[in-house]
Each structure stands twice: as structure tokens, then as C-alpha cells.
Structure 1
Amino acid sequence: MSETASQSRARLRRSARLAAVQALYQMELTGAGASEVTRQFRAHHFGHAGEPGEYIEADEDFFEDLLAGMVKAQDEVDAGIRETLKSGWRLSRLDATLRAILRAGGYELLVRTDVPVGTVINEYVDIANAFYDGPEPGFINASLENFARKVRPGEVRTAQ
């Protein structure tokens, strides 16, 4: 059975989200800017049918929006994420991968209102599961859900 257009779009966006988390991590560790990292990913990570090498297929425009948009909205995203942390915790106390996941997810929740809250949270919890075997995916879920309650209160279902 072949993939529908909707399934293809979801798959390409899923790859773009993972790449954005990796790129945000890279930017934090190296100090490189969003445009430089975007060029690197377009040249060395993303591929198209028939190209040699091990490339990933992703929605490159969505990736670029996530990366550039997160940089522009970082102060607002970080402030919102800080509000979800336990009293006394600082964002800098989290490891760089967790920060990258929270920032990418926070950006989507804040700005990409075309993407449903549940989709954003589920996608970033799945990414957290790719990196962590412990409680971190649950932490990502709770943090992004709390963030969503603040920025999109009408879209978040409350637990019964």
C-alpha cells in the first residue's frame, strides 16, 4: 500500500523536527548561527532520490522555519519553558538535548498554530524517546503540555 500525501507530509515533517533538534544542539555546542547550520544540513544531511550517500528525506522548508523561527523567538520560548520547570530549576541545568527538544517544541506551540497541540507534543515525545530510555520523555510531555496551556489554552485537553 502506497503512502498518502498526508502520510508523506507527516513523515517529512517528522524528519525535519528531528533534524531541527539536532541542529539546535549543534548550534548550542558550536556557536554556529541558524543560516550556517541550515546550509550544512541542506548540503550534507538532506538528500533526494538518486543521490549517493546516506541522506535523510525531510521537509527542508519546515526544518528551516523551525530553526530560524526558534532563534528569533528564543527569548519568548525560553521564558515560557522556564515557567514549566520546578521552582529552583534553571533551563541551563537541563542537558543540551533536552533544551533543544523543548525549544523546538516550544517554538511550534508558540508560533506554528497550523500544527495541532497534540501533534506537536507527540512528535517531540517521540524524539525524546529516540534519545532517552529514562524519565525524560515524560518530562518533555509534561513541560510541553504546560507550555501549551499557556500559549494555546483553548486547544489543550485537561485530564479527567
Structure 2
Amino acid sequence: MTTDKTANQRGAARLAAVQALYQMDIAGTALADVLAEYEVYRLGKEIDGETYLKADPHWFRAIVTGVVRDQKALDPMIAGSISEGWTLSRLDSTLRAILRAGVFEIVERKDVPTAVIVTEYVEIAVAFFEGEEAKLVHAVLDRIARRERGQPNEA
């Protein structure tokens, strides 16, 4: 059973994981370097007057390392679930990071309800984008959850 505190720390870990994956994609930061940077300097810390949310460091690390480890399997799943005529490389880097993290959790974390995963990553998309991106995140994660888990999304 998760408490609200645990759930909030997992949500913060998801957000931090998306940011770390984005940083790795854009700046080419190595996995070990980005994990160390977030775990030592960002998670729950104040930087330039902004306080990062306290995040579950194990959840953060599991998502980031899992996405990096499984990216060759995750990307084709995502590419096969986005609209025809679109490729993964055409998507915004932040959107790719959100989708990779969400799909990783759907595939690997069967202990987490689909609705929780989809809702959390849609909320992250809403925080970063003002357009249709949140709907895309919802549609892609829902399609993949139906295939991978054989169940409809309740989100």
C-alpha cells in the first residue's frame, strides 16, 4: 500500500526522471553523470531559489536506468503507437522523454496500476506543454497499456 507521501515522492521521481532523460537526449550527458547530478544536487534540493520536490531516489533511478537499458525495445513500441506519418524523431525531446518513461513503467512496473501511470505522465505533459501533447501522451500510453497489459485504461 502506498501512502500519499510515497505517491507524491514517486510523482516527483517521475518528473525528475523525465527531466534527466531530456538532459541526456539534448546534452548527451552520460547515465552515471545524470544520476549523480540529480541524486546529489537536485532531488529535494534548492537551486537558484527553486526547490526541487523530494523524490523517491530509487524510483527515479529505476526509471532512468530502465529507459536507457530498454530504449531499443521502448522506441519501436512508441513509434508504432503514434499517429501515422509521425516518427519518434519528429517529436519534441521532452515528449519523447515522457513517453519513454511512461512506457517503461507500463511494461516493467506491473505492480503500479495503468491508470496511475497514465495520469501521472499526462500531468507531466500538461506541465510542459499547452497544446495537444497531453492528449498524445494519453493516447500512446493507453494503446501500449492495452497491448502490454491487456486491459483498458481507467484514467
Q: Shared fold (TM-score greater than 0.5)?
A: yes
C-alpha separation between the residues in 2 aligned to 1:131 and 1:86? 21
3-state DSSP of counterpart to 2:83: coil
Q: 1:128 to 1:157 in 2, by over 3 A?
A: closer
- 1:71-120: CA deviation from partner (whole Å, max 9, x where unpaired): 11111111110110122211000010100000000100011111111100
2:115 and 2:153 in contact (8 A); partners too: no
Q: Could you say which residue in structure 2 is the equivalent of 1:30? A: 27
C-alpha separation between the residues in 1 aligned to 2:56 and 2:153? 29
TM-score by length of 2: 0.91
**Do residues 65 (structure 1) and 59 (structure 2) align?**
no
Structure 1, unpaired ranges of 5+: none
Shift of 1:138: 0.7
Q: Superposed, which structure 2 residues align to 1:8-157 within 5 Å?
A: 8-47=5-44, 54-153=51-150, 155-157=151-153
Which protein has the larger Cα radius of gyration, Structure 1 or Structure 2? 1
Matching residue's letter, 1:69: G
Q: 1:145 to 1:89 in 2, by over 3 A?
A: same
Root mean square deviation, CA, Å? 1.8
Shift of 1:33: 2.1
Q: Percent identity?
A: 41
Shift of 1:18: 0.2
C-alpha separation between the residues in 2 aligned to 1:124 and 1:27? 19
Q: How many aligned residue pairs are there? A: 150
TM-score by length of 1: 0.88
C-alpha separation between the residues in 2 aligned to 1:132 and 1:157? 22
C-alpha separation between the residues in 2 aligned to 1:157 and 1:43? 36
C-alpha separation between the residues in 2 aligned to 1:138 and 1:87? 16
**Do residues 6 (structure 1) and 3 (structure 2) align?**
yes
C-alpha separation between the residues in 2 aligned to 1:149 and 1:124? 16
3-state DSSP of counterpart to 2:125: helix
